[in-house]
Chains A and B, each alone.
Chain A
Amino acid sequence: MRRTKPLAALAVASLLALAACGSGDGPGEGTEGSFGETDAGKDKDPNAEGPAPEVEGAESGGTITVFLPGDYGPDDLDPTNGWSVTGNSIQQALTSRSLTQYRVDSDGNATLVPDLAVDLGQPNDDYTQWTFQLRDNASWEDGSPITAEEVAFGIARSMDSTAFPGGPGTEYSTQFFAGADEFEGPYTDKDTDWTEWEGVEFDNDANTVTINMSKSFPDMDYWGAFMAIGPAPLGKASNPPAYGQNIMSNGPYKVESFKAQDELVLVKNDQWDPESDPARHQYADKFIFKFNADPDQTDQIMLSDNTESQTAISNDLSASSYQKALDTLGDRLVQQSAQCTGFLYPDYEKTDLAFRKAIAYGYPYEDVWAATGQVPGVTRVQANSIMPPGMAGKPDYFVDGEAFSYDPEKAKELLAESEVEPLYSAIYYEPDPLAVAGAKVAQKGLEEAGFTVKYTPVQESPYSTWTNPDDKLNKSLTVRGVNWCSDWPSGSTFIPSLFRGGATYNTGGFAEESIDEMIAEVPNLPIEEQADAWGEIDEKIMTEFFPAIPVNYYNNLFTFGSKIGNPSGDEALGAPNYKNVFVMQ
């Protein structure tokens, strides 16, 4: 998923916000906080059964307040429309169940386990048909059981790209499910009844749902962990957009009140049966999510250890408070890798290999990072491959034998070899002072490395320029960017979206037939070879063509109040581990 946190600010801030922790003094330098590598959700356990294992020392009761500084949160809670780190991490953990889910242990390691299904699905030989046997003891917040038909309807909803333009179904359901060209979703397609659509079949008596694919889709079990692949009430009850403001919960918590961009209050759902759920808990009585909290204020509250902050969680920490948090919070300051990579993406047609490598040496990583308010080696770390740490098959290689670092002399040599004009033309997001500072520093560094730099300010998210092929400004750029996060730990959610010719977020316009062929080939390989195949493509793209400069991986900092039990992160979603936290009485 694209990082949509504070969309505009992050899009640019992070693009320009690059990491220190360069080559030599890599991770784990002293106690200054190091980049925690994880193996995000690579493990699967199809036999996990409810109830979820108790968290050590867990107690019931209490209210947990979650501050989300500078984070607007989702505009609606419709599971089909949910495709943001913030919204999905909250809803998938607490309110909205799907076919599968992640179980996160106290170290933050995630395991894919069943949710509404009793296992991780039964695929046929070529992964073109998946059958999920549903459990019988799952129910809605009003006590009615969740039927196979409701799950099938939820899946059919994910086909509706018009009603849910921002939903993940636009990327996966419409790509992989059968009959996508004949069925546009239950709200847009008035001619076809959704039950006639060939993509999904259900049997209420046997309690099974069968999904037919148009092409091989071995990652269906991971896709099933999205709340979009979960049940929806039949008929008008779930019509968008009204349903998004008033959803029917089926997880351990239900919505008491929701004000978009302001507050979400969740209370216990007494109809949820712990026996039916292998991963979720129901410890706290209440969750209050405060969206768009003031960052500095939140830091002060969290560091003060007053009554309010003792039972609070914050999903972000400013760099200026990092040192103090490190000194005072101890293990209540949690660093969580977010499985995202930030790229500089030079225009593939306008530039050559030497030019792109010159950028890799001429871009002042640590300095831009410092200027944009990141913590070197902690919240941003220099990247060396396309796929971030924790993804299955992430290769360990360095394009030039060692990590790139700021080296203006080397950049100049490379520029001399390059046959194109040394023009670095890019954009920055002007309303964010940090992005402006980052652009200034990047310009300084690149100019010292021999580039002619032209930075143009924009007032909207840079993505609206980068992804618009008709934009005059966009056409004049020689360097664009993209920050990408994986939807699940497989290269299939990363590499095709960025490096397939013509993909929306392939902002540099990279197109090589050999790579496109390799990408198309992977789903046909035996499943155990696919991870390595993605790693191979990753390395091939970078060492042969070097179309984009992987600049940084992302880490998030979470802070937990002194009375919050089990302070930990959820590596599958890069969020606090809402499923397992509790209030110590």
Chain B
Amino acid sequence: MSAETAGPETLGHLSDEPKGEDPGTKGRTITGKSPLRIAMGRLLRDKIALVCMAVVLFFVFIAVFAGPLQKLFGVNTDTVLPAQFLELGGVPRAEYGPPYGPLTMEHPFGIAPRTATDNLAFWLEGAQNSLQIAAIATILAMLLGVTLGLLGGFLGGAVDRFLTFVTDFFLTLPFILAALTIAPIINERFRDSPNYATVQVVALIGVLAGFGWMSVARLIRGEVLSLREREFVQAARVMGMPTGRLLIKELLPNLVAPIVVASSLMLPAFVSAEAGLAFLGIGVTTRPSWGQTLNQGISFFEPYPLYLYQPLIGIVLLVLALNLLGDALRDALDPKTRR
């Protein structure tokens, strides 16, 4: 995650006044519109953004209601004794769905090779885990990045130099290497614990967030550096506003746009990172994950391609939709980059 999720130069500045007159207002009573409402209006006119939003909402719906949806379809992720369902080579028998037979109502997505578990249930829970982990990691990375960026940018001096050093230091650590090292350490320490599954997820979120906040911190620091010399900040200072209040009440509202854009681009990066780690066998091993399914699907690509396509379509759709939505958000929030 040492790669930046979004460069500062591409991000919007909500504080900039829109240049020139909005042609639609000519001849009418001039009504005030908040910059966010203007941005929202632009977003709603963007067709790609709307489609992407629908896709993202679809996945969010799946993630939130994965449990009830499984009940609705009558499927679950329970382990089964697989031999009775499989051909000799580990591919499901024709009566249980693809690749040799038609899809069945019992298993709408078919069953997995080798383990004979239900694909739909695993796909739903994979979506849930993927989005859950990515969302929490994004929130944490944002909190950390924004806090450190605000402090460093506003306080300057020794604090800034120290925080910049920490940021640069974290940027030098290779993410994959760290993830590879941490997995066995976590295992060694917590393998006896009944909460091993939870610990594993928490550790993964920690790794993702811990190596994802740096770009945000840099971005916010840059923004704050330019904002803190502005008149309204100077005025607040003169009035003796305490630093904490100044940061939260005066600076933070002006940083909403870059924060929204950065997080909307960080989320898909974390979704693919989670899948990537699971694919390598160092992410979540105790819960269903798209990455795991991909890994298992590779050796069955020839006899049973559908099994590989399911998680693949999930990841591609979700990451693509999130990325395009992030781009659209950036365009909408930044008047200077209107297409």
B83 touches A366 (CB 8 A): yes
A370 x B299 contact (CB < 8 A): no
Inter-chain CA distance A118–B178, complex, in Å, is 59
Question: How far does the Cβ of B138 sit from chain A's closest Cβ, in whole Å?
Answer: 27
A450-479 vs B: 1/0 string, CB under 8 Å?
000000111100000000000001001000
Measured CB to CB, the nearest residue on chain B to A365 is B83
B contact face: mostly helix, strand, loop, or mixed: loop
| Distance A318 CA – B300 CA, assembled complex (angstroms) | 10
Q: Are B89 and A321 in touch, CB under 8 angstroms?
A: yes
A320 near B83: Cβ-Cβ < 8 Å: no
Q: Looking across the interface, which residue of chain A has its beta carbon closest to that of B279?
A: A433
Choice from B192, B292, B302, B304 contacting A456 with Cβ under 8 Å:
B192
- Asked if B91 and A323 sit within 8 Å, CB to CB, the answer is yes
List residues 230-285 of chain A with CB under 8 A from any CB of chain B: none
Once the chains bind, are A456 and B83 in contact (CB under 8 Å)? no
* Bound Cα distance A476, B191 (Å): 13
Is A441 among interface residues, defined by CB-CB distance under 8 A?
A: yes
Using A430-B187, A432-B281 as known contacts, say yes or no to A324 and B302 having CB atoms under 8 A apart.
yes
Tell me the minimal C-beta distance from B198 to chain A in angstroms. 14
* A window 341-372: CB within 8 A of B: 364, 366-367, 369-372
A370 lies within 8 A of B86 (CB): yes
CA distance A430 to B286 in the complex (A): 10
Interface status of B13 (Cβ within 8 A of chain A): no
Known A373-B114, A430-B187, A433-B281; contact A319-B82, beta-carbon cutoff 8 A: no
Our count of residue pairs bridging A and B at CB distance below 8 angstroms stands at: 107
A324 touches B303 (CB 8 A): yes
**Once the chains bind, are A320 and B113 in contact (CB under 8 Å)?**
yes
B196 at the interface (CB under 8 A from A): yes
Total count of chain B residues near the partner, CB < 8 A: 36
Known: A320-B303, A375-B89, A433-B295. A370 touches B191 (CB 8 A): no
- For window 174-200 of B, CB contacts with A under 8 Å fall at 183-184, 187-188, 191-192, 196
Q: How long is the Cα–Cα vector from A377 to B114 in the complex, in angstroms?
A: 15
Judged by a CB distance under 8 angstroms, whether A437 is at the interface is: yes
Is A431 an interface residue when CB atoms closer than 8 A count as contact? yes
**Interface contact A20-B83, CB-CB below 8 Å:** yes
Select which of A32, A319, A443, A457 is within 8 A of B90 by beta carbon. A319
Q: Are A323 and B285 in contact (CB under 8 A)?
A: no
Q: In whole Å, how far is A408's beta carbon from the nearest beta carbon of chain B?
A: 10
Question: Contact at B79–A440, with CB atoms within 8 Å?
Answer: yes
Cα A376 to Cα B86 in complex, Å, equals 10
Least Cβ–Cβ distance between A22 and chain B, in angstroms: 9
Q: Is the CB of A296 within 8 A of B86?
A: no
**A130–B165 Cα gap in the complex (Å)?**
72
A444 touches B (CB below 8 Å): yes
A20 to B82 CA separation, bound complex (whole angstroms): 11
CA distance A319 to B87 in the complex (A): 10
* Bound Cα distance A73, B142 (Å): 47
Inside 8 A of B301's CB, which chain A residues have their CB? Answer: 296
Decide if A444 touches B302 in the complex (CB within 8 Å).
Answer: no
Are B88 and A376 within 8 A (Cβ)?
yes
Instruction: Contact check, A473 vs B192: say whether CB atoms are below 8 A apart.
Output: yes
A537 to B332, CA, bound (A): 81
Supply 9 further A-B pairs (C-beta < 8 A) apart from A433-B296, A444-B78. Answer: A32-B88, A296-B299, A320-B303, A320-B304, A321-B89, A323-B89, A406-B81, A431-B281, A473-B191
B interface residues (Cβ-Cβ under 8 A, vs A): 78-83, 86-91, 113-116, 183-184, 187-188, 191-192, 196, 281-282, 285, 292, 295-296, 298-304
Q: List 30 A-B contacts (CB under 8 A).
A: A33-B88, A318-B299, A319-B89, A320-B91, A320-B113, A320-B300, A320-B303, A320-B304, A322-B88, A322-B89, A323-B87, A367-B83, A370-B116, A371-B115, A375-B88, A375-B90, A376-B83, A378-B88, A430-B281, A431-B282, A433-B296, A436-B285, A437-B114, A440-B79, A441-B79, A443-B79, A444-B80, A456-B191, A459-B184, A459-B187
